[in-house]
Structure 1
Amino acid sequence: MFHFGYRRSPDQGAATPVRHQVVIVGAGPVGLSMAIDLAQRGISSVLLDDADRIGEGSRGLCYSKRALEIWDRLGVGEKLVGMGVTWKLGKVYLGNEMVYAFDLLPEDGHKMPAFINLQQYYLEKALVDRVLELPSIDLRWRNRVTGMEKRNDGATLTIETPDGPYRLDAAWVIAADGARSTMRDLLGLEFKGHTFEEKFLIADLRMPADDIPTERRFWFDPPFHSGQSALMHRQPDESWRIDLQLGPDANIEEELKPESYEPRIRKMLGDRNFHIDWVSIYRFNCRRIDRFVHGRVVFVGDAAHQVSPFGARGANSGVEDAENLAWKLVAVLRGDAGENLIESYDLERTQAADENIGHSTRSTDFIAPRSPAERALRNAVLSLAPHAEFARRMVNSGRLSVASIYDTPLSTPDEESFGGSACLGGPALDAAMQTADGAACYLLENLSDRFELLYVANGSAPVVPDDIKLTVIGHDLIDARNDFQTRFDAEPGSAYLLRPDQHICARWRHPTFDKIAAARARALAR
């Protein structure tokens, strides 16, 4: 448990509300990431949280490659990987028989792993430590928002503290206050989607188990938990996460008694010695609010959307929300773009939310069928999976989180065809590279936080507008292993324009100054 002290802000003694450019409500992983991203781009913020501590159960656990790449840009990626348990392999069982195994990152040449497992309180502590290194972030603990008055130029917030209430003005308010969002309630916004009645027991326990591989293990109808499902993940500190399906009719009060859950877990683990640190029972939702942008109040993370935990799409998608919004808000505040650019956040991230909700809903329907017909189909697929590739593709124990690819008017349509795995509207894929002096490095760690043109050397490089960074592949960075060539389908003379969030917004075989300038203007919604 990490505790943080309340301190009185000078704003609390002001005769009239003090105005700030950006106020972020909620200091979870998404709000903290948003504040860091803004600070690194030169924008100060006030970050409010109603608590003063971190650390009750592991909660969030699995963090994806794309989230780690974002956090690496924010200065904490390597630290998180060093703290976490790295994994990329998963196995799915029917009873005792393995149905299939998968590898989430079979190729090398990436700085960040496919996933790490790390208790959420360690993640949040690392992000708080980074916040404290940045003087332009004013992090205020035990500051609870209780009221809001919207205006055309922002909003006035009423905030309760141990010293009583005070008010402050914000040009922009970012609502990152989670699934039970006060900000959402203050605007009268409702989630739309589905709440699943199925109940799951979640437990953190400690046990030495070096003989168990570091991988995701999922069981359908295991002998230790007949008729249900189970999931197991390794965490740091000799800690393990276990999820056990209980069914929709389980009595929560009874299931939370040690005499109920301890025998279940002991049956799963056998004769191993273990200590249970934390247990909870959850139901989950696949739903979102209609719009994420409400004037100058913008919703991110669980305040905007919720998904089931199968697939690790909750916190990871929230961090992508913050990444998408931060550079756009900076462009608006600096006068490089109009406020209509913020509308593209709503367009792109509702697309991502719908994709995540769809995947999560299908996973949940497969794990917990809602009718005898669905269960019969699920069981038939599982029975066929060890013997047939088509059936293995149908098994759904949670489609693991991947980076979003935007179908967006901010992208300039391709003039010519491109292959490779890097997609227009998707993030730039990492690649093992060398610097000009031969030192090993990676592509993503060398990208700026500006618009950037990656040009594959072929004679003279194109002239680019002053506000775009030019990186020449073959001179500034050397593609010695051909990772970049393969992933981007790069030919001599090809060019790729990246947005400040590293997403590819245009690419050409024959770039010109006018094409590059027009693509940047389009990416700024001009």
Structure 2
Amino acid sequence: MPYDYRPFDYVPPAGLREAEPRHPVVIVGAGPVGLAMAIELANHGVRAVVVDDNNVVSVGSRAICWSKRSLEILDRLGVGQPCVEKGVIWQVGRTYHREAEVFNFDLLPEDGHKMPAFVNLQQYWVEAFLVARAVELGVDLRWKNRVTGVVQGADHVALSIETPDGTYALQADYVVACDGARSPLRGMLGLEFEGELFEERFLIADIEMEADFPSERRFWFEPGFHAGQSALLHKQPDNIYRIDLQLGWDTDPEVERQPERILPRIERVVGHRDFSLDWTSIYTFQCRRMRSFVQDRVIFAGDSAHVVSPFGARGGNSGLQDVDALGWRLAAVLRGEAPAAALMAYDCERVHGADENLMNSSRSTRFMSPGAGVERLFRDAVLHLAGRADFARPMVNSGRLSKPCTYPLEAPDHPALPQAARPGSVAPDAPQGDGWLIDALGGRFVLVAFGEAPELPGLPVLRPQPNAAVIKRWLGSEVTALYLVRPDQVIAARWVSASAEEVAAALLAAQEGRT
């Protein structure tokens, strides 16, 4: 394997020697979501303990497509630039029916953004960058610490932890479960997923080879090299290529995992050339979530809260959006600056985001694996028409790529201002001199002002430099505007003009989770 999987050092925790004081937060799971959560909390002045039953980054590429919004979040956490520099940048996707291109798209057709549309980067690299940043910030990372029990009290959560040197107890005001799709914590609490399991299997194969394939997403329906099925190709760093191949529900996963079955399939995709298998996996489509992500003092995020099929890059990206929506709120609750009820705003927003992802993912899955009858007739008709008629091409669904949802906030709004910057949406980026507007937002509430702005104690005012991108994305045809932006860079409210009382009321509502 091109990546050097070096285990992290296990250190016997203090709890084996004596009872530990209660911690503000314990995070279960040191994948991208758990590590990002710990760093986000540290940025807000909250120290978290991270426990993980493993001691190495994820084996295999797993999540590889990181969206512009995820890169902005990672940048705020201190690892965005390393991810962009190491990753493969892309923004064009091409979809084929058999050998003919029927549809293509450009995810970021305009300039003036700090981060690219997408970067392909193996999950193990993202985790490695996050671990290094967490260590830099002094996060308490505990490897080979496995949670074996959880009990919720009136004002805390008690965890039983097993280590190579024995067991110990850990207490926290809150626990954030980031322990994956098979979440042991979810099982211990007797909680279940709701949703749909699709009768379809796909093979993932990471191969290492020298090739000149472009940095684009390429998807095929019924290609000659994989007759009657679907295929996907992505370029990754270090001469690694991701290939997804539809197998069908009637295949035997154990048989299909054998190299003698995989290698001929790969050769039909890439031709006769030298390549080696780096990692393989077989997965089944799932579109499911928990009914509620906040369970008293145990809060679920990432795959432990929701799972989707991988087409559309919605897994890792939605997990980072969970971190974005939860971190500042949990920190405010722990500091006594917001009521515990504010955490239900996280639940409301991220359930909304999960449902949007589940809807898009389910539609993509049905298009790729249509049932007999009407579904099959519709899919085949669209593919047939797409090569001949423009109107049919956008209907070809090989996985609508992840974009941050717009939260349904009941907040002050002015409809004459640009839709791209409406309440509930991520604040648009734009150039600012030698820097970027997105860098000036995040970490605290801020009032973005074009024109006069009321003064409120503790609420900084940001006055962007006007340029074409700023005017288009923030002002439109208006001359003045005020935007209240949350710590997660989401717009909480906006006006053409507003009094100090109006801004203060919107700020309090956002802090308390009443919008």
TM-score tier, shorter chain, comes to over 0.9
Deviation sequence 1:42-78 (CA, Å, 0-9, x none): 1111011010011411111100000000010111101
Deviation of the 1:390 alpha carbon: 2.4
Equivalenced residues, count: 508
1:192 counterpart letter in structure 2: E
- SS for the counterpart of 2:472 is helix
Q: Closer, same or farther in 2 for the Cα pair 1:443/1:379, shift >3 Å?
A: same
Which residue in the other structure is 2:474 paired with? 488
Whole-angstrom distance in 2 between the partners of 1:305 and 1:105? 27
2:493 counterpart letter in structure 1: A
- SS for the counterpart of 2:224 is coil
1:453 counterpart letter in structure 2: L
Deviation of the 1:41 alpha carbon: 0.9
- SS for the counterpart of 1:463 is coil
2:122 counterpart letter in structure 1: Q
Which residue in the other structure is 1:454 paired with? 448
Residues 49 and 140 in structure 2, CA contact (< 8 A), matched pair in contact too? yes
Deviation sequence 1:465-506 (CA, Å, 0-9, x none): 222111112xxxx233x1111012353331111011110011
Deviation of the 1:322 alpha carbon: 0.8
Whole-angstrom distance in 2 between the partners of 1:162 and 1:339? 36
Which residue in the other structure is 2:424 paired with? 425
- SS for the counterpart of 1:329 is helix
Deviation of the 1:267 alpha carbon: 1.1
Deviation sequence 1:437-486 (CA, Å, 0-9, x none): xxx11100122411001101x3xx3233222111112xxxx233x11110
Deviation of the 1:170 alpha carbon: 0.4
Residues 11 and 18 in structure 1, CA contact (< 8 A), matched pair in contact too? no
1:466 aligns with 2:453: no
- SS for the counterpart of 1:227 is coil
2:45 counterpart letter in structure 1: G
Which residue in the other structure is 2:256 paired with? 255
1:280 counterpart letter in structure 2: S
Q: How does 1:39-188 map to 2 (within 5 A)?
A: 39-135=42-138, 137-188=139-190
Whole-angstrom distance in 1 between the partners of 2:295 and 2:42? 23
Which residue in the other structure is 1:406 paired with? 407
Residues 420 and 489 in structure 1, CA contact (< 8 A), matched pair in contact too? no
Residues 498 and 505 in structure 1, CA contact (< 8 A), matched pair in contact too? yes
Deviation of the 1:272 alpha carbon: 2.2
Q: Closer, same or farther in 2 for the Cα pair 1:47/1:56, shift >3 Å?
A: same
Deviation of the 1:88 alpha carbon: 0.3
- SS for the counterpart of 2:494 is strand
Note the residue ranges of structure 1 that are not aligned, 5 or more in a row: 435-439
Deviation sequence 1:268-305 (CA, Å, 0-9, x none): 11122211111111112100011100111100000000
Whole-angstrom distance in 2 between the partners of 1:189 and 1:464? 47
Query: What is the RMSD of the two structures over their aligned residues, measured on CA atoms?
Result: 1.2
1:358 aligns with 2:352: no
Which residue in the other structure is 1:442 paired with? 436
Query: Identity percentage over the alignment?
Result: 51
Dislocated runs of 4+, deviation >3 Å: none
1:424 counterpart letter in structure 2: P
Whole-angstrom distance in 2 between the partners of 1:269 and 1:253? 24
The TM-score normalised by the length of structure 2 is: 0.97
Whole-angstrom distance in 2 between the partners of 1:10 and 1:267? 55
Whole-angstrom distance in 1 between the partners of 2:47 and 2:58? 27
Deviation sequence 1:93-140 (CA, Å, 0-9, x none): 0000000111000011000000000111011000000001012x2110
Which residue in the other structure is 1:437 paired with? none
Residues 21 and 45 in structure 1, CA contact (< 8 A), matched pair in contact too? yes
1:132 counterpart letter in structure 2: V
Deviation of the 1:415 alpha carbon: 4.5
Deviation sequence 1:360-412 (CA, Å, 0-9, x none): 00000000112233112101001111222321121100000001210034xx2
Residues 155 and 169 in structure 1, CA contact (< 8 A), matched pair in contact too? yes
Whole-angstrom distance in 2 between the partners of 1:213 and 1:256? 28
- SS for the counterpart of 2:225 is coil
Which residue in the other structure is 1:208 paired with? 210
Q: 2:198 aligns with which of 196, 199, 202?
A: 196
1:6 counterpart letter in structure 2: Y
Deviation of the 1:433 alpha carbon: 1.6
Residues 420 and 486 in structure 1, CA contact (< 8 A), matched pair in contact too? no
Which residue in the other structure is 2:495 paired with? 508
